[in-house]
Amino acid sequence: MSGSYSSTAPFSSFGLWKKMDTRDSHQSMWIEVTSRCNNDCRHCYINLPDEVSEREELSLEEIKKFADEAASLGCMWCLLTGGEPLIREDFPEIYMYLKRKGIFVSLFTNATLITAEHIDLFKKYPPRDMQVSIYGISKETYERVTRRSGSYEAFMRGLSLLMEGGISFRPKTVAMRSNLSELMEMSRFFREKMGRPLEYEAMIGPRLDGNERRNEIIRGERISPQEMVFLDDQDPSLLHLQDKICNKLFLYLTKADRQDSILRCGAGRRNFYITSDGYLRPCASLSHPAFSYDLRRGSLAEALDVFLPAMLSKKSGDRELLEECNRCPMLQFCDICPAAAYLESGSLDGHVDYLCQMAHARSADRMRTD
């Protein structure tokens, strides 16, 4: 959906978050500054060739415009992500513009493009939070994932610059078939070197562009639900990002709201996502056209006051979801997700076998350990 709404909402922009979530009124946005990346990771759902991405990529002036709008509406937090944000030559300008607007800035990066100049920038103007993607502890494993020769050396160089420069960051990874054998070693490395836990994701979603050749690779990289549970049991210091983010946000909806809502998690309630080609979405993965608002044709205020409330009010009519999934005794362990459902099945409320299997494995593990 493009910017075609009339702004008739009776409450001010961002009032939605304060009204719906009184426990945490953080007013935050994610900006995907590019879909380009210097790596070509096996599991990536978004990266595009430079010539494709740059045609539609947000300009510096457009990002500044969105920052101005967001700041005027009370936004306090911004996460810069990609693709790889540091691939943009104007990254320092983007970063500092947001800072000067009084916005707390966080960053997702693979660290391979970190330079001494970036370290100087982050020392002088520290990010609120930085997460660094880790794909392996050995060159063989790391480059098996990234599919880029030389990426391991670039990563280790960037990692050294961050650590030597005293820049705080959180290590994270994706648990997949290609690096599963090194996950515990990665966890020990960062626990011993930094005193920080390794955060990980296990649910690898399909490509947003529907590239079936790449989706075959992605499906082949998924670990089994039993392996994911085993990881949690083997190393309690590992933090499962799916639990930290999606499951936590799930609790923000009342039981009544969860029964038939399409958006059953916290997407669009605590933050919103701006894509590299200028669309606002409730979350990074929810690429359904009806859940995408064209900011180049509308305004941020209209998107927040009219578009998002309309999306959040959408209900499901799917019988399987309403009569089977909602009554499932393992629902509390399920990461049921319209974004995953749409990418996997073409339906926002479709059934996702992988998530169902994950819920069964978690439930069985909880019963075993209780």
Q: Which two tokens stand for residue 45?
A: 């759902």
pLDDT at 10: 28
Per-residue model confidence (pLDDT) at position 239: 60
Residue 77, domain member (yes or no)? yes
Q: How does DSSP classify residue 46?
A: S
Residue 242 covered by a domain:
yes
Q: Nearest to residue 26, comparing CAs of 281, 269, 249, 244?
A: 269
pLDDT of the residue at 8: 30
Domain of 210 in residue numbering reads as 15-315
Q: Is residue 125 part of a domain?
A: yes
Q: Is residue 24 domain-resident?
A: yes
Query: Domain for residue 296, yes or no?
Result: yes
- Give the C-alpha separation, 359 to 229, whole Å: 10
- pLDDT at res. 260: 79
Check residue 245 and report its DSSP letter.
I
CATH number at residue 187: 3.20.20.70
- pTM for this prediction: 0.87
Q: How many domains does the structure of the chain reveal?
A: 1
In a domain, 287, yes or no: yes
With H, G, I as helix, E, B as strand and everything else as coil, classify residue 291: helix
Q: Are 344 and 352 in contact (CB under 8 A)?
A: yes
Residue 3 counted as domain residue = no
Backbone φ and ψ of 101, nearest 5°: -80, 0
SS3 199: strand
pLDDT tens, the chain, 370 aa long: 434 333 333 223 334 333 444 323 337 899 999 999 999 999 999 998 888 888 899 999 999 999 999 999 999 999 999 999 999 999 999 999 999 999 999 999 999 999 999 999 999 999 999 999 999 999 999 999 999 999 999 999 999 999 999 999 999 999 999 999 999 999 999 999 888 889 988 889 999 999 999 999 999 999 998 888 888 777 766 666 555 444 444 444 445 455 677 887 778 877 899 999 999 999 999 999 999 999 999 999 999 999 999 998 888 877 777 777 777 887 777 777 889 889 998 988 888 888 888 888 877 877 776 6
Residues whose CB falls within 8 Å of the CB of residue 32, separated by 6 or more in sequence, listed in order:
46, 81, 82, 83, 273, 274, 275, 276, 284
User: Is 321 within the bounds of a domain?
Assistant: no
